[in-house]
Amino acid sequence: MSVSDVVKFKATTKMPNLTPGKVWLVGAGPGDPDLLTIKALRSIEQADIILFDNLVSQAIRDLFPASTPAFYVGKIKDAHSIPQHELNDLLVEKAQQGLNVCRIKGGDAFVFGRGGEEMLRVKEAGIDVELVPGITAAAGCTSYAGIPLTHRGVSQGCTFVTGHAEKELGVNWKSLAQLEHTLVFYMGLSKARMISTKLITEGLSAQTPAALIENGCCPEQRVIRGKLSELAEMVEREHVQSPALIVVGDVVKLADRLDWFKTMTDQQNSETQIKKLSA
Ligand code: SAH
């Protein structure tokens, strides 16, 4: 159902002049439905209405109860189904209609997810709100790619950075280049060349290992590894598509030994192939 439908949608099963509903601001994690928290699943099951983003995977959408109206209110680059301030108001409006609202988005709502903005608006309106944390892409995708965010003797820290800003990107590249620990870029795909150039110009070695993780934690996950200097070429050569995460740092090398997800899915695929051939 579209955004215009959600505006029209009213509580039909509830009485007017009722107490307001509550809002669950839910992180859905990076895609694999098994990575939803129990609390996230409970709020999906208990909600009167669900408002979801494009990063909420189809496998997770399949868990929405058929009887609960669910509306897409997401944004993909340069295409927002609804402006953010209207969405904030919509959460308030639906709760004031007495509906319990499950506002679900990819990863964690407080990590590059505008969860803070939505929560501020809902709280200002005096509506009860509960934040349900989700596994953010940096944690989920690196785990499924066999890249530990920190590793004793290799990386003593990790910084999450956005590659996208509505106006100017206020990133201190010099500091980032000097941290000597893992850097994870969200929304950085179209800025891959700028990211590598800035980091190298500010002193990070061009040889620093780098990885692109496309569709992390999903069966179609791809991990492309190389050097920081090659980042933009890797994106072009492999036709990497969104959603994708960029990881920069020596921890990337550990994937040689720690990869488990691809090994497991490859094994499962070959077993299915063998079964098909012998059937
Ligand atoms: N709130 C989300 C991030 C939203 S910003 C979170 O906590 O994960 C959107 C960016 O997140 C994407 O452009 C991409 O860089 C990253 N991302 C989210 N899910 C991803 C996935 N399954 N695989 C790779 N990158 C992902």
Q: Say whether pLDDT at 2 is over 80.
A: no
Q: How would you class 62 by CB atoms within 10 Å of its CB: exposed for 0-12, middle for 13-18, buried for 19 or more?
A: exposed
| Residue 162 CA to ligand 1 centre (angstroms) | 10
- Residue 120: the pLDDT is 97
* Start and end residues for every CATH 3.30.950.10 domain found in the chain: 138-258
Q: Which residues are catalytic?
A: 53, 75
Q: How far apart are CA 196 and CA 233, in angstroms?
A: 11
Q: Say whether pLDDT at 17 is over 60.
A: no
Residue having the nearest C-alpha atom to atom 6 of ligand 1: 107
Ligand 1 atom, smallest distance to 115 CA: 1
Q: How far apart are CA 44 and CA 68, in angstroms?
A: 9
Pocket test for ligand 1, best of 34, 55, 103, 164 (most atoms within 8 A of CB): 55
When the candidates are 1.10.40.50, 3.10.20.30, 3.40.1010.10, 3.40.50.2300, the CATH number that belongs to 3-135 is 3.40.1010.10
Report the predicted TM-score, pTM, of the whole model to 2 decimal places: 0.92
Residue having the nearest C-alpha atom to atom 5 of ligand 1: 112
Q: Which residues pair with 23 in a beta bridge?
A: 101, 129
165 and 190 in contact (C-beta within 8 Å)? no
Residue having the nearest C-alpha atom to atom 24 of ligand 1: 244
pLDDT in tens, 171-191: 999 999 999 999 999 999 999
Q: Which residues pair with 71 in a beta bridge?
A: 51
